[in-house]
Structures are given as structure tokens and as C-alpha cells.
Structure 1
Amino acid sequence: MRDFLPADKARRERVLGVIRDRYRAHGFDEIETPVMEEYPRLHAGIGGDNEKLAFNVLKRGLTADDIRAAADDPAALTDLGLRYDLTVPLARFYATHRAELPTVFRAIQIAPVWRAERPQKGRYRQFVQCDIDIIGDASVRAEAELIVATLDAVDALGLAGASVRVNDRRALDGILAAFGFAEAERPGVLITIDKLDKIGPDGVVAELRERGASSDAVAAFEAFLSRPAAEGAGLDADVVRAALPDAVDPAVVDHLAALGAAVAAARGGAVPLVFDPFLVRGMGYYTGTIFELAHPSVSYSLGGGGRYDGMIGRFLGQDVPAVGFSIGFERIVDLVATEADGAADAVVLVHDRDIPPAELVALKAALVAGGRRVRLEARTKNLKALLDRAAADGYTAFAAVSPGTAADALELRPLG
């Protein structure tokens, strides 16, 4: 959990402003949910490993006897927890407000979430997620809208060359079935396959054998990994079909091909979609198409999402189709080069200490009314240090103020 100095905060807000603007241009509306949710909702078995990383909140008014009585069941001491993502709160939000929302609801959520991570570069215990979700549309159109809006936001941030890796959890299940993995062992097998980028094919095969997975199925998986690479790129039917075993449901292939065609129609020219038959994404609530945002400058993903048609039904008692895409803000903000907003109109007024406060405040108000950003600073012996600090905070001009100086008589000088 971090503090942000003014220049860092301003930079983050500029990037968030670009993302918000592009999302809103695509017809999404921003909502806000509480930072805490009920404990049972956060630990319903749909959040994957993130549930283990949740910060839980102790019940109010606990006594020493209560704590001793719950020694074998710490969960009995808590009734709330900080949200570890924005998808579970959105599902609860929709179930609560469905009657007030359109049939197809396009939501923006940009907010902090909390996980008890082991802090390291690029991984924090408090971080911002930028989510867009479409609830109420089961068609491929919803998935295409999310991908197009996300790529539009990335383009607006100046991150050329971004791509989206795409897969489908139904295709993954079909692959594992074709290899011969029993249904009961598939969740554990997926955890290992999810490490393919980190430990490579040999490492995945070795770990599957160590886990005691079906030997024939592991052998079939190993043979599949060592086959010649399929030709072609993108997300058309031939590319997808060539990357999958024959036994995978053709309807899944058709769905992915339709997604590729929809994104191609929106984007025009080359489509930055890559089919990855072993993309897993660890959240337990995904039911269909899944995707991850990638950029050639880094080895890790910059965001991801997928279809989670079964989640809202847990809160509503009736299944509602849903799909979402989340940008990992903390990862993407460091890649973005942004210019200071309104830099030419950010002015520091360096004033003599004997000028009456009323005169200074009136002068500042006149400049602010004219559209400038203004800071008052009393003159110091080390004027250079004062101006350097102002430049670091995004100010690009200064003026010396003496008693009686009028706003239209200020002589602005550039900083730096």
C-alpha cells in the first residue's frame, strides 16, 4: 500500500481520465460499490486463490470468550471483508438493482481492491482495477465490444502493438477430455497448465506426473505440445481448429471465429487477437471465452477477463449472462508517457512576504477565473529550489509579484 506524491497522483489521474473517456465513448456507465462485502459472498468458492488473499474484518463487539470459542474456526470471527476484485461486487450490485437497470447493462468500475499479497515489483496489497462489464447479453457481440473498447483505451494511451490472447474455458475442458483427464482431476491439471509460460512444456509435463495425473492423458498432452506449430494467426475458424484436438465442440470454434470477425470489422486491417489454447486464467467463475491483454514491452499480462455466466445467478436465483474485461492499472500506468494537463496555464506566483493576503488571494482568483492553475509561494532565499519543486509538480511558468501588481501586468517566465 503506497503513498503518491502530487506529480505521481496527477499522472495517475491523467491516465485514468483517458481510460474513462474511451470507455464512456463506447457506451459504458460508471458505478461505485462499497469497499467491503459480506464474508460469505467473498468466500463462495468463485474467486479462486484470491479468496485466500482477502483481508477479512473482525465482527464488532467481540469478547475474549468469543475469540477463544472460535479458536478452531477463525471465520466465525468475521462478517465482512475488503473486496479482492470488482467482479464479485458487481454481481451483487446487479442482483440488488436489476429493476433499475437496462436489460443489457454496460458498467464501468474504476476503484481500488485489496489482496494480502507478498509485496514485490508490480504486485501490491492495494491496487486499482479498471473494469468494464456487460450484463444481460449472451452473444459474441458483448465480448467483441469489450475487446474493442479495451484496445481503444490502450491505443489512446499510446501503447502501440498491444494484443489480446483469447481462449475459451469450454475449449480447455474439451482438450482435457480429449487427452483423457478425468473430470475430477481437471481443476488441478489446469492449475499446472497455467504455468506453461513460466516453466515451459517440459516443466508442465513433469509437474503433471508429480501430481499423479493420468499417465496416458499426460502422454497425450505431451505429444500434442510437441506437434508442429499450426500455420496462420488471428482468430479465424481455420486457425482455431488447427490448434485444437478434433474432439473439441465445433460450436466453440464457431464462437471464437465469430468473435474474431466482429473485432476485425470494428478495428479494420490487422486484428491484434491471438488464439492461445492453453490460456487458463485462474478465476473459478469463468464459464466461456477468456482473454488477456499483452504488450511486447513486458512479459506479463496487462489485464484480462472473460465470460462468467454463472455468477449472478448465485445472488439472484436466476442465471444472467455476463462478461467483463479488466485493465491492471498499476501495470499499465508505468508504461504510459503522458504530458501534464494544461501545462501552459500552470503558474506559480512568487510573492514578497509583505503583500497583504487579501491582495494575493484576489490576484490568484483573477487568474483562476481566467482558466489558469495557480499556486502562491512566498519568496525564499533559495529561489531555484522552490521553482524546481514547482516544475516537478507540473508548473511550467512563474511570475514575481510585488505590492500592487495587477493580473494583466504579470511577467510570466518559463520554468526549467
Structure 2
Amino acid sequence: MDIELSPEDAAFREEVRAFLCDNLPQDVKEGAAATPSVFVEPDIGQAWNAVLHEKGWLGYQWPQEHGGTGWSPLQRYLFEKECAAAGAPNLTVLGLKLLAPVLWTFGSEEQKKTYLPRILSGEDYWCQGFSEPGAGSDLASLKTRAVRDGDTYVVNGSKIWTTHAHHANMMFTLVRTNTEVKKQAGISFLLIDLSSPGVSVRPILTNAGDHEVNQVFLEDVVVPAENLVGGEGQGWTIAKFLLENERGGSCHAPKLSYDLDQIEVAAQSESDGKGGKLADQPDWRRRVAKARLGVNALDMIELKIVSEIAKGSQPGPQTSLTKLLASNLRQEIDLLAVDVYGLAGLQLDTTRPLYGENAPEPMGSKGAQVAAARYLNSRAWTIFGGTNEVQNTIIAKSVLGL
């Protein structure tokens, strides 16, 4: 794999760097750094989305015919890497990176025409209704029922761990439309307006005190049949396609590398408790070096996948490998962030947000204030998008052929 940049790609990288230098708002950057939850809050995320949308770069992973940039896989990687290095917030992934590819691949022309522009403009803010109280890792066991009634479906059931449902106005969800067939074959993919009668959202607070996830209840919710994506019973196929994009639709290594850089900088000024600096302690340096090697290895794997996509391949089951590695590295790096600040890294202020004029004063630095909450929230990495056990099974069966 040749990772040397062509003159054109090198020029593109410089263009992205210059744009970020001139257009990434400082308050957005500071807000992203002070956000301990896994997903960026809408006030920060949507503000950054709007800047990119005005530039025409928000749909950087989208085909041009649907409002995207039409960039090559390598250009998309370079864009993500430069955004991470600049401290930009993550984009609002649910609509942009998960639903949008489903719509242009499986959706009707009317669904593409209606929803894709509204994702880019921010008019629609989406959440994902997949997991249920009895169907998380075993997603095929979901019980939320959608019964066809003329030109509508009547939906009953509940979804759980629904990220940002309290902010969203729309939800893409898996529902059971047939109970007489194999459980995977009876699932369909439906778009639900959350302002519909019968929809209620109950908050779930994380161990860190963040309101990021929810349980959504659906009681006799009437959904137009035109909101069915694909055909009845095609939901399982669509879900697998979506999850491959969720696990491999972005590169994780650049953001992990950026966070590790911040930790190394902090260690240069933090005491080791013995009269020296933490950055000079051999045990600390070994821990950081191990994490750095892991990030570099992940970067190479992700670049290999980028190379294969550039040749026309789909993300495929190898994205489970990147999800598995990224989840473990995320937790390892967040533990380093707690440890680098000593006692100050154990503070757990549950006031939110931790940015802006009304943010509480930190004990020590802002990094120390965020560290414990971010560590607790990152426990979810080895669960969401498929647990580590699920990823190991996929890797064993589909990648290694065991």
C-alpha cells in the first residue's frame, strides 16, 4: 500500500488545514474539548455542521449526486485526520453517516428527495431506534411491532439506549412486521416522526451524570407506509449495511492520536509525586508508548481499508476489527487521562455543560475536570454498535473463516 501523497492530495490537505485555521470557531473547539459524553452536544455539533454545510463539505462522505463532495476515500481520510488534529468536534453521525447511505442505497426517490437535503441543512435531527430492553446484542430478537393498516403502520413497543432522542425530531428504527417467519426475515426499517401522538421519551442518565441516552416508548404510533425504507422484511439486510458503516464509516485513529497528544502535553507539567514530572517516569512512558503503538497499528489498518474502498470494495466485516481495536484504545486512553491529573482527575462535577459562560470552575485544569466523566462514559464503547463479544464472533466467522 502506497501511503505517499500525490501532489493533488497534498494540496487538498493544505486546503483543509487552511480552512480549519480560518473557520473552526474557538467556542466550538473549546466546547468539544469540554464535552465528556460520547456524542457531541447539538449546540456544538450543529454549529460546526452549519459551517461545513456553507462550505459544501458537510456531506464529505456522500456522492455528488446526493449533495456530497464526491471526494476520494483518501481525501475523506485526510479531511477527518485534519479535523481531529485541529480539535474540531465529531460530526452528528446518526443522520450524516448512518441513515444517509441507507437512503441513497435502499430508499425511494421521494425519500431521497425529502430527507437527504434536510439532513445536510440540519432541519432534521435523527436518532437510531435499534436496541430494545430484551434485544441489544441479540438485535434479531426485537419485539417492537408494526402492523400494516391501509396506508399506515401502527407501531407499538419501546427502544432503549437511544442516543439524543430528546434532541431529535426523527428516528430511524427497526420494527417487526412479520411474526410467522425466521426472526431476521420479519424485520423492517421504518422512519418515525417523533412528534407523532403516542411517542414518549424517558431520560437515562449515565454513570457520569450525562443525559445522552433515553428510552423511547411507542404506543399506537401511526406511521405513513411511505416511510418504509426498502421492502417489508428487508430491515435485517439494511441494518447489517448500516452497522458496517457505523463501525467503519469513519477512521478512529486520528481522534485517538489527538487525545493521546493532549495527554502527553499534560504529563509534561504534572508532578509524579516524587519531585519530578510524570512525563519522565519510565512506567508512564511505557503506558503511553503502548497506547501510541496501538493507535499507529489501527491507523495502518484503517488506511488499508481506505485503500480497498478506493479500489471499489465495500467496508465489509473487517470493520468489526477497527471497531474492536478503537473501543479498547478509547478506554485505555481515557484511563490515561484520568491518571495523568492525579487526584484532580477524579473530580466528577455533574453540572452540564462544562463549557460556556455558566460552566463550573474546574479543580485544576479543564482537562482534569472532564477526565473522570469521559472515562466513565467511554465504558459504553465496548457495548454500543455491537459488543466486543459480537465483534470477536464476526471477526472469527467472516474474516478468519473459523
TM-score (norm. length: structure 2) = 0.23
TM-score (norm. length: structure 1) = 0.22
* Structure having the higher Rg: 1
Bigger fraction of residues in helix: 2
